[in-house]
Amino acid sequence: KQEVTQIPAALSVPEGENLVLNCSFTDSAIYNLQWFRQDPGKGLTSLLLIQSSQREQTSGRLNASLDKSSGRSTLYIAASQPGDSATYLCAVRWGGFKTIFGAGTRLFVKA
Amino acid sequence: EAQVTQNPRYLITVTGKKLTVTCSQNMNHEYMSWYRQDPGLGLRQIYYSMNVEVTDKGDVPEGYKVSRKEKRNFPLILESPSPNQTSLYFCASSRGGFTDTQYFGPGTRLTVL
């Protein structure tokens, strides 16, 4: 069965710290993996998408890596800011349009 | 502006009263999908559509119906809503291909009494 797990479930860090969020998945035959941000009571904002053939993607202070063979992706956030506080979701797409989300990591960055 | 719209945004209804949540996208996307989000369970895919008249079940399709008669619209139908369908619902669309970023609508908060 295809599953997606995110660790940790919650994280609290001081402003300025670099941090890593983890996403693991079963069944390495993925199509792509996408990281989202969700603010409380709001919709989802796409951060980065990594195709199955790629190893990493970068956007500003964010870097996402993908290791298909081990079934893992990490989202690296550099120099965290209070505005980064949100829930971060990892979504893995397999064949067709089947998509499974992880339960998310709730991040709190203290000023 | 490229966007996915959902209506209504908020809905309170009673058990058994049929309802439809509409979803529309203006990006000419091939793929559309419905998700529900529940505390502790995350987002779960209900149904998805790869093109007009082509739909398939996601992980939690029971109690829901969908149709895709036009490329831009993908309504979610609850024929006989029950309290366990109280949830936050999201519609999403994407272009297709390996770089197909999913774009999400703003969500519909449904309460079934």
Evaluate if residue B95 carries a pLDDT over 80: yes
> What residues of chain B lie within 8 A of the CB of A89, using their CB?
42-43
The whole-chain average pLDDT of chain B stands at 93
Which segments within B3-75 are labelled E, that is strand? 4-7, 10-13, 19-25, 31-38, 42-51, 54-57, 65-66
Of B43, B98, B103, the CB nearest to A52: B98
Q: Residue A49: closest CA among chain B residues belongs to which residue?
A: B101
Evaluate if residue B10 carries a pLDDT over 90: yes
B→A interface, C-beta within 8 Å: 31, 33, 35, 40-45, 48-50, 56, 58-59, 90, 94, 98-107
pLDDT tens digits, residue range A56-97? 999 999 999 999 999 999 999 999 999 999 999 999 998 777
